[in-house]
Amino acid sequence: MTWLTGHLPCLLAAIRGTLLRMGWTANDIPDLHGRTAIVTGANSGIGFHTALQLAKHGALVVLGCRDPHRGAAALARLEAASVSAQLLALDLGHLDSVRTFARHIAADHPRVDILVNNAGLMAIPYQHTADGFEMQLGVNHLGHFALTGLLLPQLLEAPEPRVVTVSSTAHRTGVMRFDDLQGEKRYRRWQAYGQSKLANLLFAYELDRRARTAQLPLTSVAAHPGYAATDLQTKGAKMAGRPLTETVMRLGNALLAQSDAAGALPSLYAAAAPGVRGGEFYGPGQLFESRGAPKRVSSSKASHDEVAARRLWDISEELTGVRYEALRAGSPA
């Protein structure tokens, strides 16, 4: 027994590695009955398939969607697939909406087991959120930072809560421009996107560190979908009035990308697979992480900069007004 206890972590790691090499699929998701999951941006693409598979395996899934009509259409698709879910309005670009969503969750779901911070925008023209933030940083990072903090009491009611934050390989191009975080001096849409995806990883890793310091069971991990065919690639070009770029993006999706269902697998692994540990990052395992079964992947040196992570955390608390009191309350004296 002593030998087994001492070698159990290595054995579990070996088993987990073998499963990933064999090609983990949605069929490997364990039974999730009795668990509540929230997926942001669940009306289409990766978010929809994340919600679908979590619901298929028994979780009560809440769809957080900005557009009520698209959200209702997604809910109808789930019901047609013989799974049940709930729909709640959630605009991550409006902190009042985030707070209202969190209040509804607190009233109806005292315990949240899984939160998938999936919604996002990519390479859009310069815009502001309702609260005055640069739109990509505001939606991709600040909205999710606020949502996670507001839902933390419900997450900590679960025995093994997980927060999955969806980033991108584009985080490798990201630089945190703390002297111009909102792009007011200079805005480049791809640069802003890379910064927001780097912010996702800095947040995910810092949340894990703070949960461990407070000796709380929360697992914070990150995932990326690789190159998946969704409407994310075309939205920015369409908003910018660039039909040629939009056409190129559509062709790339048709010829090179994996399906949105396949792109959801890293998020699903991070959200539901046994043995996932806090601070890990999952993405596709083939062709430079663009496609294939999920595996644990590495992230840029900048994403592990703890000084930058703490600075971003402090700024995010100040901008959103959301402070993670539950982490402080759980900290040892």
Record the tokens describing residue 221, joined without a space.
Answer: 């991990």
Question: Is the separation of the CB atoms in 280 and 153 below 8 Å?
Answer: no
Identify the CA nearest to 298 among candidates 203, 222, 218, 190.
222
Are β-strands 36-40 and 114-117 bridged in parallel, bridged antiparallel, or unpaired? parallel
CB under 8 Å to 309, separation ≥6 — which residues?
Answer: 202, 203, 205, 206, 209
Look up 193 and say whether it is catalytic. Answer: yes
Structure-derived torsion over alpha carbons of residues 318, 279, 195, 70, reported in degrees to the nearest 10:
-90
Question: Is the separation of the CB atoms in 285 and 294 below 8 Å?
Answer: yes
Question: Is the separation of the CB atoms in 102 and 147 below 8 Å?
Answer: yes
What are φ and ψ of residue 63, in 5° steps?
-90, 120
Question: Is the separation of the CB atoms in 66 and 91 below 8 Å?
Answer: yes
- Going from the C-alpha of 220 to that of each of 150, 166, 276, 279, the distances in angstroms are 15, 11, 10, 6
- Going from the C-alpha of 275 to that of each of 63, 203, 207, 270, 322, the distances in angstroms are 26, 21, 18, 9, 30
Catalytic residue among 126, 187, 193, 269: 193
Residue for token pair 């001096």: 185
Question: Is the separation of the CB atoms in 208 and 278 below 8 Å?
Answer: yes
How far apart (Å, rounded) are the C-alpha atoms in residues 54 and 199? 26
Sheet of strand 60-65: strand arrangement: 85-89, 60-65, 36-40, 114-117, 162-166, 219-223, 281-286, 291-296
How far apart (Å, rounded) are the C-alpha atoms in residues 22 and 95? 42
Catalytic residue positions, numbered: 193
